[in-house]
A and B are shown apart, each in its own frame.
Chain A
Amino acid sequence: MKHLISLEINGELHEIALEPYATLLQVLREELGLLGTKKGCDSGGCGCCTVLLDGLAVYSCMVFAAAAQGRKITSIEGISENGKLDPLQESFIQSGAVQCGFCTCGMILAAKAFLSTARSPSDQDIRQSISGNLCRCTGYHKIVDAIRMASVNR
């Protein structure tokens, strides 16, 4: 049975009728058409579905949408401001850190949560910050380059 649920996504309040077992990932992709968040393994192993919940990175495939009520949800579509890309989006483009692109949105959001508290991270810190995200193209070096660039250029 569907219930009406209220979610704050990218600063906008949405009222959506949902089954109680709907995941945040399903809501983003299937209800709201926010397709930047990817469905990879759907079991908390790949990180493609990473979004921010009150600024912290989580796997949206493992978050029940009903449990995200009252919290601020940020997907990749919500990090640019007034048409201007987030510095991390810019650095991913400039570093060539996007290969097939499937992991990119999750990588950027994991990195964004990380850089919000890390002042001058080492490469080791950066690698740790994306330890919950898989890149099947194995393009990790350029991803680390991109996060380092965004960290220096802010």
Chain B
Amino acid sequence: MGMSGVKEFCRPQTARDVVELLEKYGDRAVLLAGGTFLHGLFATGLSSGAKVLVDLQKAGLSYVKARNGGLALGAMTTFRELAESEPVQKRPEFAAIRDALQYPPPQIRNQATVGGCVAAALPLFDLPVALMAVDGSVTALGPRGSREVRLDKFFVDYFENALETSEFLTDVLLPKLPPRSASAFLKLETNANDLALLNVGTHVTLDESGICREARVVIGGGVGKVPVRMVSAESVLKGQRPSAKLLEEASQAVSADLHPVSDHRASAQYRSAVAKVYVRRTLKRAIGQLGIELD
């Protein structure tokens, strides 16, 4: 059993108390959010040095609230709570989050948390790709206070994030997005409980005359150690009026930034081919959120 080294279970009451425990126990402490990912880490022996489990459930980090015109998502907010929150249900700019949360089964939605999913830094997960598409960042709280880290800087490698010693993730922050912003997310999977073979999050902002002013295209799944921005596809879109032809051009442009891996689940060649299709469909879906239907 990978967990047999664990001797203590703590339930700190505030975020500050969590930091104190991290300072006290160092590498011997492992944070418990929802637990759906942690059990896998223990089962595979990746957390075998853990002596103390620090349960974040009571630390007051379950909320979806307005912040600077955008949103602050508490680390312990479950997938279900986030999916049922009004901004995610109703606002077109957050539709990518709504899309991403439809994939996991009810049991995972009830238990898995925003903070746990992001901090896990596994590029195969869905929600981080959707959050990156809407320009998310995180709040890291540590002994010297809190700091904000953009998600594209937060993900470093497989299972590795940019948190420093004794820091932990308290919030995911979403910025205020301009009017006529919309996003979407799509995932390619082999069955209902699968990790992504490939997943795509997109975001667009149109101006009053319908020209694309901002675009973000992010691909996760087996395309690298972290989710990857498709900047070439984004620059095809910016300054142009969305059309079926433009979306096709943007999707072809992903070749410049995409270097997928081959593994037992899919070849790099397959992932490259299907990425273009999924980018086109996800962009179409995002633009559809604004009431514009393209052929």
Q: Which residue of B lies closest to A132 (CB)?
A: B105
Decide if A67 is an interface residue (CB 8 Å cutoff): yes
For A62, the chain B residues whose CB sits under 8 A away are 35-36, 39, 111
- In the complex formed, the residue of B with least CB distance to A54 is B110
Minimum CB–CB distance from B177 to chain A (whole Å) comes to 29
Tell me the A128-154 residues at the B interface (CB within 8 Å): 128-129, 131-133
Q: Are A132 and B106 in contact (CB under 8 A)?
A: yes
**In contact, B111 and A64 (Cβ under 8 angstroms):** no
Stretch at the interface among A44-52, A73-81, A83-91: A44-52
Q: In the complex, which of the residues A20, A56, A59, A61 contacts B53, with contact meaning CB atoms closer than 8 Å?
A: A20
Verify if A34 is at the interface (C-beta below 8 Å from B): no
* Complex contact A67–B57 (CB within 8 A): yes
With beta carbons under 8 angstroms apart, the residue of A20, A113, A131 that contacts B7 is A20
Cα of A23 to Cα of B210 in the assembled complex, Å: 54
Q: Does A100 contact B (CB under 8 A)?
A: no
A1 at the interface (CB under 8 A from B): yes
- In the bound complex, residues from chain A placing their C-beta under 8 Å from that of B193 are 45, 131-132
Interface residue tally for chain B (C-beta within 8 Å):
28
* Chain A contact residues: helix, strand, loop or mixed: mixed
Among B1, B4, B9, which residue has its beta carbon within 8 angstroms of that of A66?
Answer: B9
* Set of chain A residues within 8 Å of B7, measured between Cβ atoms: 1, 20
B110 partner, pick from A21, A23, A47, A53, beta carbons under 8 A: A53
Give the size of the chain A interface in residues (CB under 8 angstroms): 31
A44 touches B107 (CB 8 A): yes
Q: Is B43 an interface residue (CB 8 A)?
A: yes
B36 touches A21 (CB 8 A): no
CB distance from B113 to the nearest CB of A (A): 12
Q: A58 within 8 Å of B by Cβ?
A: yes
Given A44-B36, A44-B39, residue A64 in contact with residue B9 (CB < 8 A): yes
* Contact status A67-B32, CB under 8 Å: yes
Residues of B within 8 A of A133 (CB): 105
B107→A58 contact, CB < 8 A? yes
Q: Is B3 an interface residue (CB 8 A)?
A: yes
How far is A113 from B104 in the complex, measured between Cα atoms in Å? 16
Is B55 in the interface zone, CB < 8 Å from A?
yes
Q: Is B40 an interface residue (CB 8 A)?
A: yes
Known: A47-B105, A132-B105. A58 touches B111 (CB 8 A): yes
**Docked CA distance A59–B107 (Å):** 6
**Which residues does chain B contribute within 8 Å of A53, judged by CB atoms?**
110
For residue B5, which residue of chain A has the nearest CB? A21
Asked if residues B53 and A63 are in contact (CB atoms below 8 Å), the reply is no
A residues contacting B by CB (< 8 A) are 1, 3, 19-21, 23, 42-45, 47, 50, 53, 56-59, 61-64, 66-67, 110, 113-114, 128-129, 131-133
Report 11 cross-chain contacts, Cβ distance below 8 Å, ordered by A residue: A20-B6, A21-B3, A21-B53, A23-B39, A44-B36, A58-B110, A59-B36, A62-B36, A64-B32, A110-B107, A131-B106
Closest 3 CB pairs of A and B: A132-B105, A21-B3, A20-B9
